[in-house]
Each structure stands twice: as structure tokens, then as C-alpha cells.
Amino acid sequence: MSGIEKVLQFLDEAKTYYLATTDGDQPRVRPFGTALVHDGKLYIQTGKVKEVSKQLAKNPKAEICAFHGGKWLRLSGELVDDDDRAARVAMLEKLPSLKAMYDPDDGNMQTLYFKDAKATISSFTAAPETIEF
Ligand SMILES: Cc1cc2nc3c(=O)[nH]c(=O)nc-3n(C[C@H](O)[C@H](O)[C@H](O)COP(=O)(O)O)c2cc1C
């Protein structure tokens, strides 16, 4: 399994991760669940109307933390706003429950992918594993 697939599997199994952004000098964090590998990139999904989207437009640096099976994942990088319609369609195909809130052409649905991503999977019992993509 490639590094990016390993990170995706961790996020999928954890189901919920926490996405941190910056709002000026104030950190902001909230639960997220969307994750998809499409075209070799790790995407997340949000709505352009949300504060999180506005914060990322100003400062794309972001960090994710998830905990699952005694291990925790920390993933940092830049979230690139990608207007690729195929990515939005693929996200809705993977997570059909999103269709109640989003449509690929609603002008609100947004997918962003991680650039210069560095992930670390840690536990109390083993050496940390670093994955970059
Ligand atoms: C378990 C869980 C998963 C969520 N996943 C997402 C998600 O993937 N994308 C999203 O935009 N909002 C998601 N939300 C909702 C956001 O956490 C919520 O809209 C949050 O307020 C957005 O951050 P903001 O207020 O800073 O914009 C999720 C909420 C929960 C409880």
C-alpha cells in the first residue's frame, strides 16, 4: 500500500478527524470526516460558505489529527482549492450522504487537496512512521 493510501485508510477507519486552520493568530479546529484519494491526491471536502473555507483561502496551511486503534495520525501541509468537477463527483460517489447537502454544481461544494503533506503515525509502543506525499 502506498503512503497516501495508508493515510486514507487511517482516516477512513478513524471516521472522524480534526482539522486545524488559522484565523489570524487564533487556531481553529473542528471535526471533519471527508477523505478521498483522487488522481493521486488526498482530498477533503467542505462548503465555501463556512468559516473553515474562508480561513483556508487566507492561509492554506492546515493540520489534521485523528486517533484510531491506539495510534494517532498527524498530517500537515497546504490545502489547495481544486475546482476539478471530477473530484467533487468522486467525493459524492464515495460519500453519498453528502448529496443531501451538496451538489457538484451548487457553487458551494469545495474539494481541496493536500500539497507538501507530511504525515506521522505515532503510538506509545512503536517508533513514529513518517509518510510524505
Ligand atoms: C463527525 C463530523 C464530521 C464532519 N465532517 C465534515 C466535513 O468533512 N466537511 C465539512 O465541511 N464539515 C464537516 N463537519 C461539520 C463541521 O465540523 C462544521 O461545519 C464546523 O463548524 C466547520 O468549521 P467552521 O465553523 O470553522 O467553519 C463534520 C461534523 C462532524 C460532527
pLDDT at 7: 98
C-alpha grid cell for residue 29?
Answer: 479546529
- Residue to probe by mutation, ligand 1, list 11, 12, 28, 30, most atoms within 8 Å of CB: 30
Atom of ligand 1 nearest to the CA of 35: 8
Distance 54 CA to ligand 1 centre (A): 14
In a domain, 130, yes or no: no
Q: Dump pLDDT digits (tens) for 79-131.
A: 999 999 999 999 999 999 999 999 999 999 999 999 999 999 999 999 999 99
Q: What whole-number distance in Å separates Cα of residue 18 and Cα of residue 31? A: 4
Task: Give me the chain's average pLDDT, please.
Answer: 98
Whichever domain contains 31, its CATH number is 2.30.110.10
Secondary element (H or E) of residue 54? helix 51-58
Q: For residue 21, which atom of ligand 1 is closest to its CA?
A: 26
Give the count of domains, the chain.
1
Rounded alpha-carbon distances, angstroms, from residue 96 to 12, 30, 106: 15, 22, 16
Question: Which residue's entry shows cell 497516501?
Answer: 4
Q: Give the residue from 124, 2, 133 showing the smallest Cα distance to 71.
A: 124
**What residue numbers bound the domain in which 117 lies?**
3-124
What is the reported pTM?
0.97
